[in-house]
Amino acid sequence: MQIAITRAVSAGIAACELTHLERQAIDLDRARVQHRAYEEALARAGCRVESLPALDELPDSVFVEDVAIVLDELAVITRPGAESRRPETEHMAPVLAGHRRLSFIQEPGTLDGGDVLRLGRRIFVGQSGRSDERGIEQLRAVAWPYGYTVAAVPVSGCLHLKSAVTKVAPGVVLVNPAWIDAAALGDVLVLHIDPDEPYAANGLLVGGRLIYPTSFPKTRRQLEAAGLTVDAVDVSELQKAEGAVTCCSLVFAGS
């Protein structure tokens, strides 16, 4: 059984961090409806969804992926690059302690889960504005004893590594080549987004289905033509907060 941890949309989401997008009004009610539909997609994919209550004083707290990296062997509580997001970790640690042994990224290192892409035993970490060398080195130190390699990957033009690349099928990644050089990922089949849809590289593969935004129809058609099962969800309000489908959940094997 896969577990998906989510957190309801903060009433304060209008004050979210923004790095590459202009601030736009976010319809909170609509964002919450979209988030519930996203949770339903996780359930359709076979997850047991553990939905946590909203943290209204923490605008970005719906984006739970950034505060932890859950491996089979342990969970690493991150130290997010944006200072406003660091208190989110205190709320996630007790939840994950029920599932895994915990390790913590320590000051002065920073690491956002959105920068962490795992392909089997290979972990890639984006060198973004949010994750730095010290955070990456700390992740390497806790993961290597379990047989994981940890490689830093340059990214530019986007918030996180997983804005630029995600796994969409076993051995297959979806990439925006303007933001990352996929050669850094080694032996993997690379699909490219449609160039008209620069934010389209973020999909969430779970239970053999790809949870994917409705807002990228051209790339979606390519994915379906490649034989992928796509479950399209409207996350347009969360996208205004520079969110995407991976960042709204932490998905891992139940123990």
Stretch that binds ligand GLY, among 2-10, 16-24, 93-101, 175-183 (CB under 6 A): 16-24
Task: Quote the least distance from Cβ 114 to ligand GLY, whole Å.
Answer: 7
- Angstrom distance (rounded) from CA 145 to CA 161: 24
Q: Which residue has the tokens 């995407």?
A: 244
Does 9 sit near ligand GLY (CB under 6 A)?
no
Q: Based on CB atoms, which residue is closest to ligand GLY, 159 or 233?
A: 159
Q: Does 63 bind ligand GLY (CB under 6 A)?
A: yes
> According to the 3-state scheme, what is the secondary structure of the chain?
CEEEEEECCCCCHHHCCCCCCCCCCCCHHHHHHHHHHHHHHHHHCCEEEEEECCCCCCCCCCCHHHHEEECCCCEEECCCCCHHHCCHHHHHHHHHHCCCCEEECCCCCCCCHHHEEEECCEEEEEECCCCCHHHHHHHHHHHHHHCCEEEEEECCCCCCHHHHEEEEECCEEEECCCCCCHHHHCCCEEEECCCCCCCCCCCEEECCEEEEECCCHHHHHHHHHCCCCEEEECCHHHHCCCCCCHHHCEEEECC
248 is catalytic: no
242 binds ligand GLY (CB under 6 A): yes
Give the count of residues interacting with ligand GLY (CB under 6 A): 11
**17 scored as a contact of ligand GLY (CB under 6 A):** yes
Near ligand GLY in 130-189, by CB under 6 A? 159
Interacting span for ligand GLY (CB under 6 A) from 11-19, 141-149, 174-182, 223-231: 11-19
- Closer to ligand GLY by CB, 158 or 169: give it: 158
Residue, CB closest to ligand GLY: 17
Evaluate whether 228 touches 203 at the Cβ level (below 8 Å).
no
**Residue 247 among the catalytic residues:** yes
Q: Which stretch binds ligand GLY (CB under 6 A): 96-104, 118-126, 219-227, 236-244?
A: 236-244
38, 42, 58, 60: residue in contact with ligand GLY (rule CB under 6 A): 60
Q: Is 241 in the site for ligand GLY (CB under 6 A)?
A: yes
Tell me the catalytic residues.
Answer: 160, 247
Q: Contact residues for ligand GLY (CB under 6 A)? A: 16-17, 19, 60, 63, 82, 85, 159, 241-243
